[in-house]
């Protein structure tokens, strides 16, 4: 996470001028931060998206978006979570669907990268919760765990032997954590 330096606080307009170089950029506290990821990070994020989308195909209560979605939060930061779930009634329509998301997501999934510092990740999770995201999943591919944050004091850590849910925002969804990391193992319930 290295911030891009400007002579002033960076803006969303500055972020829009960043090169299309395959990097993931976010606007955080007036700085543009680059968060490069690797194959495993991306593959795990896509796998989670696939598993949640399967549930949504059976229970169409909302939609998901990947790491290329920019979400503008009430504190002015523009984040790009690895996966975002939004209930149908919050999905933008018309011209709003062409811009950055300006509603609070119902579930955010962040996948740890080897370059992520715990300080950076902790700050990001705290910010998401403070901005009103009801559930944040922190997925650790190295440890093969998912930590679910409903607040900074209400957390649960799930291992590959556990089954995870996203109640109440994704009613009926449950999945063996092992399925997130190893395609072909225990099936998810829909």
How do residues 34-45 score in pLDDT, each as one tens digit? Answer: 766 678 888 899
Give the whole-angstrom CA distance, residue 70 versus residue 78. 6
Structure-token pair, residue 48:
């989670």
Q: Residues 106, 169: contact at Cβ < 8 Å? A: yes
pLDDT 10s digits, 47-105: 999 999 999 999 999 999 998 888 999 999 889 899 999 999 999 888 767 788 899 99
pLDDT > 70? residue 187: no
For the residues of 33-69, what is the DSSP string, one character each? EE----HHHHHHHHHHHHHHHHHHHHS-SEEEEETT-
Distance set, CA 166 to CA 102, 118, 135, 173, 175 (Å): 22, 23, 7, 7, 10
**What pTM was estimated for this model as a whole?**
0.81
Give the whole-angstrom CA distance, residue 117 versus residue 134. 23
Q: How confident is the model at residue 183, as a pLDDT?
A: 57
Greater confidence, 41 or 137?
137
Give CB contacts under 8 A, 24+ apart, made by 165-168: 166/85, 166/107, 166/135, 166/137
pLDDT 10s digits, 104-136: 999 999 999 877 788 888 999 999 999 999 999
């Amino acid at each position: 996470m290295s911030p891009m330096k400007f002579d002033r606080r960076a803006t969303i307009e500055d972020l829009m001028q960043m090169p299309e170089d395959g990097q993931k950029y976010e606007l955080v506290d007036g700085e543009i931060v680059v968060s490069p990821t690797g194959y495993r990070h991306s593959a795990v994020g896509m796998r989670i998206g696939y598993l949640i989308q399967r549930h949504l195909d059976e229970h169409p209560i909302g939609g998901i978006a990947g790491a290329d979605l920019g979400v503008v939060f009430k504190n002015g930061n523009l984040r790009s979570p690895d996966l975002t779930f939004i209930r149908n009634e919050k999905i933008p329509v018309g011209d709003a669907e062409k811009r950055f998301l300006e509603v609070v997501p119902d579930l955010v999934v962040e996948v740890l990268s080897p370059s992520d510092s715990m300080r950076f990740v902790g700050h990001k999770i705290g910010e998401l919760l403070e901005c009103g995201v009801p559930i944040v999943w922190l997925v650790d591919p190295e440890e093969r765990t998912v930590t679910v944050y409903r607040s900074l004091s209400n957390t649960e850590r799930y291992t590959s032997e556990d089954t995870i849910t996203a109640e109440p925002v994704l009613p009926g969804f449950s999945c063996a954590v092992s399925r997130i990391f190893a395609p072909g193992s225990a099936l998810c319930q829909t």
